[in-house]
Structure 1
Amino acid sequence: MNSPTATINGATMLSQAGRTVLVCGGSTGIGHGIARNYYIAGASDVIILGRRSDVAEKTASKLNEAYPGTKVTWRTCDLFNRDQAKQLWDSLEKEKTLVDVLIVNAVGQPELKPILEQGADRLWQDFENNVHAPLYLVERFYKQTGHTKQKV
């Protein structure tokens, strides 16, 4: 049986050859699926971020075995912790790793009850996690020094 995506998987317009992709929340679930599809699309490097080092390492190992043409690395980072997010981008810059594609696939789960029952502190934390933290990632991605390729 033919794959339903066989026709588009080989399309040159979808090629990610030569790109470095950073997938936040890439060790499980949807993020893992996104990372896998960048391997299929031929990305040269995929960096998986996760909060749990054992899970991120295991995912990267499996993807390295399945897609030997792509260099898979992993890093532990809690993106909701500004110091860790800053350290991530600072280390990428120090290593001269330029990210071409940024996937922000990490969110904080808000409480499912009325805002006034949650309280101002909880609501503000949700804002920090789901607006401010992703915006910081995008800002650092956008401001990478020495990057000349189109960023996605």
Structure 2
Amino acid sequence: MAVDFSNIFSIAGKTALVTGGSRGIGEMIAAGFLAAGAKVYISSRKADVCDATAARLSSEYGGECISLPADLSGVAGAEALAAEIASRESKLDILVNNAGASWGAPIDEFPEAGWDKVMDTNVKGVFFLTQKLLPLLRAAGTADDPARVINIGSIDGL
């Protein structure tokens, strides 16, 4: 029996949100999703960079990549991003929580403000964005094809 490899990684017809999608790993994930046929939203704190990356990815991969700048370090930012997605989509198939923050100080010099910044984005933001997007994720999922939440982490933030 021959296997059809031309379609094995297709996610055509799926909608994805990649936080931290304007550079690095997030940008690469967004590019891969576009290449596999998904409609992709990317978010990052810096609107100009997010907008430019979305335009470039759309051009390079021929898909639809939409910029939704957002600061996910607090509940308000998570709520705003979830509301914006909900105003545009009736479902969300894939959420990639990739946005992250680091402080860059040795542990013996790490200040409370740095700790709070890292925890707010890397833990609190991930939890509350996922929570606020649950209705759209549930709308996309079925028993045979559930919605996916992918959390990306790094020791750089610690």
Distance 1:119 1:63 in 2: 37
Question: Is 1:140 the equivalent of 2:136?
Answer: no
Distance 2:89 2:32 in 1: 25
Distance 1:122 1:58 in 2: 29
What is residue 112 of structure 1 aligned with on the other side? 105
1:120 deviates by: 4.0
2:68 pairs with 70, 75, 82, which one?
75
Structure 1 unmatched ranges of 5 or more: 1-7
Instruction: From the superposition, tell whether residues 128 and 81 of structure 1 become closer, same or farther in structure 2 (CA, over 3 Å).
Output: closer
Instruction: From the superposition, tell whether residues 109 and 102 of structure 1 become closer, same or farther in structure 2 (CA, over 3 Å).
Output: same
1:125 deviates by: 3.6
Distance 2:25 2:5 in 1: 18
1:66 pairs with 50, 60, 78, which one?
60
Contact 1:9/1:41 (8 A) holds in 2 = no
Distance 1:58 1:30 in 2: 16
Moved more, 136-145 or 27-36: 136-145
What is residue 5 of structure 1 aligned with on the other side? none
2:47 pairs with 47, 53, 69, which one?
53
Equivalent residue of 2:18, what SS? strand
Report % sequence identity. 27
1:113 deviates by: 2.3
Instruction: From the superposition, tell whether residues 108 and 9 of structure 1 become closer, same or farther in structure 2 (CA, over 3 Å).
Output: farther
What is residue 33 of structure 1 aligned with on the other side? 28
What is residue 12 of structure 2 aligned with on the other side? 17
Number of aligned residues: 141
Instruction: From the superposition, tell whether residues 28 and 110 of structure 1 become closer, same or farther in structure 2 (CA, over 3 Å).
Output: same
Structure 2 unmatched ranges of 5 or more: 149-158
Instruction: From the superposition, tell whether residues 57 and 97 of structure 1 become closer, same or farther in structure 2 (CA, over 3 Å).
Output: farther
Give TM-score scaled by structure 1 length. Answer: 0.79
Distance 2:27 2:137 in 1: 28
- Dislocated runs of 4+, deviation >4 Å: none
Contact 2:74/2:120 (8 A) holds in 1 = no
Give TM-score scaled by structure 2 length. Answer: 0.77
1:121 deviates by: 4.5
What is residue 147 of structure 2 aligned with on the other side? 151
1:126 pairs with 90, 111, 118, which one?
118
Equivalent residue of 2:67, what SS? strand
Equivalent residue of 2:139, what SS? coil
Equivalent residue of 2:43, what SS? strand
